[in-house]
Structure 1
């Protein structure tokens, strides 16, 4: 197993989490040293059972961080390079790796090379870094302030390689590649091959919302991609009391696991929080149970471990509710929803005891209009069984017979027969050293 097979990420959007200003600081103002605050959350992260800190954008940007203007400079709203390297060091002392968010499909309009093109036009040495379109330049999905890079230009690849290597040299473990689906896979392959030659342990996960997920690994050279299909199926199947949707997604997930290990999640900085997405709060344990038992590299979006709520809206400022400021340290969270945090700890602990789950495929057993059961087996015979009752009535189900021991949930399993009983909205996680 590589180190990434043991990774469970705690995902933070720093500009929001740390209460940064909405727009870039004026050039004459001193940096705000906010990044060191995150060091005070490392114990919280490790108490959850996580061992990775996945940071959203930290580079100099115009507003929300995805409009980068300098990939070699920490956004002054967050601090300085020294602040980041100190955080990386303090994380490493606790066995925690740090992942950075790289935006290489597009840049902000104040990005140095683009600003030079606007001044000098075709005479600029960066003229072919961008693609003319009408009276302007190609943009990302119609957002004028996000100017797309020309990925056919080898100089752009050279630039991206230099950025990735610069921060890997300073101790980061890998990269989330923003909007990876909008970049040609051949570009990613060329870049990652070059970087791996110097940093073979670096891990690259691409943001891929739709399309051929596996191709970004086999053709693009990435290690993983975001598993949006499973994310959608989890909350949608629970809201509709439709286990068949989740069962279909798990079959698709198995096919992905034949090729790579997806990055799994039930929340991130771009989507409505899971506690708000689910219509019935009794379904939250079901969603978390799926996340932490199926194959994949899981991440927890900061605040979801306390069932924080927030709805994403398609408007300017529509991400604010899902990217709030947090208190200066975990004590500021108080005691609200501690049961949800303990549930995370229980399920992460189970996963730590069965590290083979990272690549395990699900085997479906009971599937009807309200109930789904599945098992996962390890290479040396260990097994995990999961039963989920989506509905409001008690239900019976089954898994293969085996020496099952109850690990989590309200349900029961009979080891001799494999018969499973689940109360209304109940769930079961059981473990066994082997199956009969």
Structure 2
């Protein structure tokens, strides 16, 4: 058979609803004690994943100034790492390098073992929160896949594999969107648009997160109409939650921003970062794994009055226009080499779609991310005893066990979905 041209569609979806979770089943099974990061193979990939997360954020911020940003770094990294299993030559090298791995210093096998442990850790039982990530391959019926590729995506990434009739693109699109919607409990809908009948394979990664604050806000205290100053200078009115409690807090003197940490019940933590006037771009350019580590280690508990908006936002991205700028070029053009997936057809990634949804409410809410070299904690009697997120801020959600960024974004306008 001659080499036929088919398209590969890479889809990632993220959902983080922070709606009410009042109770859990009393017979919830006990969770094993998590591996420490020193012994956990996931620690081999976490630093690179964090670096990739911030580099991708900076690209998105450049392309969408003044807009909300929302994506799941761990979902996108996992999808690309899984795709690299079937890539060869320069195509493979570009994917792994763009993910932050120096393949002369870390073996490819070690990278995939790290992702295997990461996926396992995120999907094992979590007391007091819901967190799961999954991957699925929808494969064209007549496509003959390499057995080694199928075995590895199943073993390392826990991938489910389904046969699909892509000649009927409308039906196939509906079935795949229905699967993603079901796995994200109705939050991520219509992630695929305009599916092509020449599609050979659709790779989907989805992640779902739901949790409660350890110190929830009282709905009775929520101000129904609180002014929120947009970066353009106009004001919108949003529901504003508030409480006075002991939280980990710090001020980055160099960047002029405030960092608040709020914990979820379970093994997740949220950061909120509020830049000083006119310093959002400086903050975004300074995001790095080192700064995040310094924040995590330097924040100190203090009594503080906190104001955070209640909101729901979503974002969709066509990553095929962004990933080539980050070094993943061949996968999207005629130089693509995915002979590790199939040797009977020529495959090329035609689309890389990502959709994320975030709901924030009194019972549970999201995270804030930022950068700093040094943090200070001001005395209790200074004006910093009150912090109001009533203008654009960054948000970051971390899984404590793996130190992975589950969610990263910027809230420019809490009223804009």
Higher strand share: 2
Higher helix share: 1
Do the structures match in fold with TM over 0.5? no
Q: Which has the higher contact order (CA 8 A, sep 6+)?
A: 2
Q: Which TM-score band (shorter chain)?
A: under 0.3
TM-score (norm 1): 0.25
State which structure, 1 or 2, has the greater radius of gyration over its C-alpha atoms: 1
TM-score (norm 2): 0.26
